[in-house]
Amino acid sequence: MKRSREQAASELFAALYPRLAGWCRRLVDDDETAHEIASEAFTRLWSRWTSVTEPRAFLYVTAANLVRDHWRRLDRERRTVRRVGTEAAVRPHTEPSDPSVRMLVQALPERMRVPILLHYYADLPVREVSAVTGRKEGTIKADLHAARELLRAHLRRNLDHSR
C-alpha cells in the first residue's frame, strides 16, 4: 500500500511539476523562484497526500497563494527601496505606473484574482476552478468576466495616458 502511494506521488510529480514550474515562471519571471514555489506546493501536497482529493487543483491553488505572497514581498521591498531613495533624494519622487498584466492581476481583489490565475494561467476549466474554490460555476464565470472588464479598463486607461 505504501509503495503504491509513493509510486502515485512520484508519477504525479513527473506529470505535473514541469508544467507547474513553468506556470510559476510566467508569474514570477524568475526560474529559481518559480522552482522554489512549485517545490513548496508539492511539499505541501505531500504533507496532506491522503486527504487531498484533487491534487492538481490543490497544487495550483497553493502555488497561486505562494506567488501572491512572493508578489507582496516584492512590493514591500520596492516600497522600502523607493522610500529610502526618496528620503535621500532632493527632488520629489514620482512613482511610475506599471501597466504590466501581472501587476494588474496582482491588484485584483482575491475573489477575482484566484479564478483568473487558475483559469487563464493554470488552464483549469471553470468546473475545476469552481470545485477548488467551493463557489458555483456561475459565480466563477461572473468573477472572470468582471476581472477581464477591470483589466481591460485599466489597460485602456494606461494606453490613453501613454499617448
81-106: pLDDT as tens digits: 666 555 545 444 444 445 577 788 88
Region 10-26: mean pLDDT is 93
Rounded Cα gap, residues 79 and 81, in angstroms: 5
Buried b (16+ CB within 10 A) or exposed e, 80-119: eeeeeeeeeeeeeeeeeeeeeeeebbbebeeebbbbbbbb
Q: Which residue has the higher pLDDT, 48 or 2?
A: 48
Provide mean pLDDT across the span 67-74. 88
Tallying the residues shown for the chain, one arrives at 163
% of the chain at pLDDT higher than 90: 32
In this predicted structure, what is the pLDDT of residue 97?
47
* Model confidence, pTM: 0.58
Tell me the C-alpha distance between 28 and 37, whole Å: 10
**Residue 17 to residue 98: CA distance in whole angstroms:** 30
- What is the mean pLDDT of the segment spanning 150-158? 82
Coil, strand or helix: which one is 100?
coil
What CA–CA distances, in Å, run from 150 to 12, 14, 101, 112, 147? Answer: 36, 37, 11, 10, 5
Q: List, in sequence order, every beta strand (DSSP E) within 10-152.
A: none
